[in-house]
Amino acid sequence: MSPSTPSTAAPKEFIRLHIGGSEVKPGWTLMNRHAKPGVDVVGDGSDLSMFANHSVAEIYAPFVYQRFGFRKELPSALLEAFRVLIPGGVLRLCVPNLEHIAKLFAEAQLETNQAFLLTTLLYGEQNDDNDFNRSAWAFEPLAQMLDLMGFRKIASQAPFDLFNDVSSLRLGNVSVSLNMICEKETNAIALNNKGGQLLSQGMAKEAIDQYEMALILAPEKPFIQSNYLYALNYQATPDMGKIFAAHKKFGEFHERAAAKSEPHQSALHVATGENRPLRIGYVSSDFRQHAVSHFIEPVLAAHDKSKFELFAYYHHTVVDDMTKRIQSHVSHWRSLVGKSDADIAAMIRADSIDILIDLAGHTATNRLPIFARKPAPLQVAWLGYPNTTGLSTMDYRITDAFADPRGMTEAFHTEKLHRMPDCFSCFRAPADAPAVAPLHAMRTGRVTFGSFNNFAKITPEVISVWSNILKRIPTSTLFLKYKDLESVPMTQFIHHQFMTRGVLVSQLRIQGDDASHVEHMARYNNIDIALDPFPYNGTTTTLDALWMGAPVITLEGASHVGRVGVSQMSNLGLQELIAHNQSEYVEIAVALANDLPRLAALRAGMRERMLASPLMNVARFTSNLEQGYEQMWAARIQK
């Protein structure tokens, strides 16, 4: 089979789209930037909204895409091509082979005016943004971009001979047209997995593109929908309106698909005089060694069992020591593994649950579509996800006034916000945490900054700010630790990211997982100052660092995901560690690093400060939570 032949024969109703040409040819739809005889559609290929998803069998674009900024407009244009092509559909494109043009010029085979005229001919009107990079229009970088935008079987091609045009353009014996052919990915799971890999490298924008392409192929997959929504929280400059619209779209999709719930009668028990505890159902995939369990397990243990009957709905196969402890704190344990949404909803109704609590949001292996069925009269989101679920069937989301100040984020939630009096979660220190060691810098003579956060949170913008700190204090070190960071590809990637911003490799310490949690916690004794990523703050990692004596510098964000640090530092009375902008973040870090006596005093008193704060008062927190449940329930039965 010829490389220029589609791998699957296209039905006649599919479109064959020629972008940027002028030659009319039977069977092809012609798109041009200017209306003239024979042109079917006016446009430049950056916007194909006039074509439906999966409506085009092949696209031929001669000297079109090089007009777009390689890293700005080009990805969006290729995403449009991906969207309209059928799975396995073919994209052919020609761009000027600037490597060959540069070689001809260097060998004096091309005069300056010829090079200028040729480049003008090939590019037309140049954009003058900083994204213009002639070296990008070569096979390897273009192939990498095509692969990133969901195209496979990428190859260079001799003249396409489809039209009498520039794919055969030559100067003497040298071709000055780079002809590329590729096919659209057919597997949504492959794109989803690629999105996860990119997100783990802090490349949120690229990950989001992958998830969007996966959803074009499989719009009905809940786990891809949730992965996409989860990734939106990592954007350096989040558009909260668009993020909310995407979440709301998820909710509307599943609420349309959900079977109508049967009338739920448990709300009548108060009105009919039935006297029993409120039945609270907690739904999670994380009732195991997981960050969420370290927050929920002490609350479950502290619940007033005379007022609340606890049910745990667990969607995971792992049963470890944490799982067993959680089981011991609840009256009823239900496994959701292998059960359909309809069966689980029926189980919850049969249990007569009054308040159903989701602890996962759009994190891995969630069961949010169950909540679209409204199996309980009152449904609440809490703890595991720093944003709205998007479901109108979710009545409340639990937060606090620091993470979600009044008037700031209500418009971006389908739920009503229930603000806890102090903080939205309560921390119990790990039992295996070692003692706090003296200030590391006192022993080494140099300050060590650190972050043990998921590297997905370490975006290019975060790296730029942290690099500025390291350059201001050239004797300092940055200690990064997370699973798989020690792998050669990740280490090289991290080194490159910092080196391009002027940081020496000798200033970086990179490590993966420790063999035990004890060793992991002990690593914090090697950190003098912890740095909170943004806009997606740490939660457990921040509290672990604080418990081990390391003050944490955080940047105030515009929504919950970027204000967790504000909540934690405010509850500790450490507002001086909250920066209001990136410049202030750097200045706080530099000033603290240059004041070792202050650092040592903070470190020595941090555990006492935490123990005296609302962050670790489990009894107070649980009582406040229970009062919140009762207030929500009272409002519900009055409806």
Report the C-alpha gap between 17 and 77 in whole angstroms.
14
Same domain, yes or no: 299 and 160: no
Is the per-residue pLDDT at 213 higher than 80?
yes
Strands 278-284 and 308-314: parallel
- List for the chain the helix, strand, coil content (%; round to 5): 40, 15, 40
Same domain, yes or no: 143 and 271: no
Same domain, yes or no: 506 and 563: yes
Strands 578-579 and 552-555: parallel
The reply to whether 109 falls in a domain is: yes
The reply to whether 285 falls in a domain is: yes
| Span 324-352, average pLDDT | 97
Same domain, yes or no: 488 and 476: yes
Report the C-alpha gap between 352 and 280 in whole angstroms.
9
Q: How confident is the model at residue 103 (pLDDT cuts 50, 70, 90)?
A: low
Same domain, yes or no: 128 and 39: yes
Please, what's the b/e burial string for 310-322 (b: 16 or more CB within 10 A of its CB; e: otherwise)? bbbbbbbeeeeeb
Same domain, yes or no: 481 and 577: yes
Domain extent at residue 206: 189-232
Is the per-residue pLDDT at 349 higher than 80?
yes
- CATH of residue 486's domain is 3.40.50.2000
Predicted structure pTM score:
0.90
Cβ contacts of 54 within 8 Å, gap of 6 or more: 84, 85, 86, 87, 216
Distance of CA 274 to the CA centre of its chain: 46
pLDDT tens profile 472-504 = 999 999 999 999 999 999 999 999 999 999 999
Q: What is the pLDDT of residue 12?
A: 53
DSSP lists the bridge partners of residue 485 as none
Is the per-residue pLDDT at 237 higher than 70?
yes
- CATH of residue 348's domain is 3.40.50.11380
The reply to whether 241 falls in a domain is: no
Residue 370, number of CB atoms within 10 A of its CB: 29
Q: What is the pLDDT of residue 109?
A: 55
Is the per-residue pLDDT at 639 higher than 90?
no
CA 217-219-221 angle, 5° bins: 105
The reply to whether 296 falls in a domain is: yes
The reply to whether 250 falls in a domain is: no
Q: What is the pLDDT of residue 111?
A: 56
The reply to whether 259 falls in a domain is: no
- CATH of residue 67's domain is 3.40.50.150
| Radius of gyration of the chain from its Cα atoms, rounded to whole angstroms | 29
Give which of 136, 145, 40 is closest to 91, Cα–Cα. 145
Same domain, yes or no: 308 and 455: no
Report the C-alpha gap between 399 and 405 in whole angstroms.
10
Q: What is the pLDDT of residue 265?
A: 44
Is the per-residue pLDDT at 14 higher than 90?
yes
Report the C-alpha gap between 53 and 85 in whole angstroms.
7
Report the C-alpha gap between 203 and 521 in whole angstroms.
28
Q: How confident is the model at residue 122 (pLDDT cuts 50, 70, 90)?
A: low
- Total count of domains within the chain: 4
Report the C-alpha gap between 309 and 324 in whole angstroms.
18
| Span 72-87, average pLDDT | 95
Is the per-residue pLDDT at 273 higher than 80?
no
> What is the 3 state secondary structure string of 40-98?
CEECCCCCCCCCCCCCEEEEEEECCHHHCCCCCHHHHHHHHHHHHEEEEEEEEEEEECH
The reply to whether 531 falls in a domain is: yes
Mean pLDDT of the chain: 91
- Give how far Cα 465 sits from Cα of 11, 582, 587, 590, Å: 53, 7, 11, 12
| Span 562-587, average pLDDT | 98
| Span 392-406, average pLDDT | 98
Peptide bond connecting 535 to the previous residue in cis, omega within 30 degrees of 0: yes
- Residue 220: Cβ-neighbour burial (10 angstroms; 0-12, 13-18, 19+): exposed
Bigger pLDDT: 568 vs 132: 568
> Token pair 């420790």 is at which residue?
514
Q: What is the pLDDT of residue 6?
A: 39
At how many degrees (to 10) do helices 618-637 and 291-302 cross? 80
Residue type, 636: R
Same domain, yes or no: 82 and 199: no
On whether the CB atoms of residues 111 and 134 are closer than 8 A, the answer is no
Helix (H) or strand (E) holding 205: helix 204-217
Q: What is the pLDDT of residue 380?
A: 98
Same domain, yes or no: 482 and 454: yes
The reply to whether 74 falls in a domain is: yes
How many angstroms separate the first and last alpha carbons of the chain?
68
> Token pair 């969007």 is at which residue?
212
On whether the CB atoms of residues 355 and 378 are closer than 8 A, the answer is yes
Q: What is the pLDDT of residue 259?
A: 63
| Span 245-270, average pLDDT | 74
CA dihedral 310, 313, 318, 322 (to 10 degrees): -20
Q: What is the pLDDT of residue 264?
A: 46
Q: Which two tokens stand for residue 492?
A: 């090289």
pLDDT tens profile 180-192 = 999 999 999 999 9
Same domain, yes or no: 76 and 138: yes
Q: Which two tokens stand for residue 275?
A: 């006297």
Q: What is the DSSP letter of 525?
A: G
Residue type, 612: A
> Token pair 């590329």 is at which residue?
180
Q: What is the pLDDT of residue 3?
A: 36
pLDDT tens profile 140-193 = 999 999 999 999 999 999 899 898 888 887 776 777 889 999 999 999 999 999
Q: What is the pLDDT of residue 72?
A: 82
Q: What is the pLDDT of residue 27?
A: 93
Q: What is the pLDDT of residue 143?
A: 96
Q: Which two tokens stand for residue 251?
A: 């909710």
Report the C-alpha gap between 568 and 422 in whole angstroms.
10
Same domain, yes or no: 20 and 162: yes
Same domain, yes or no: 303 and 177: no
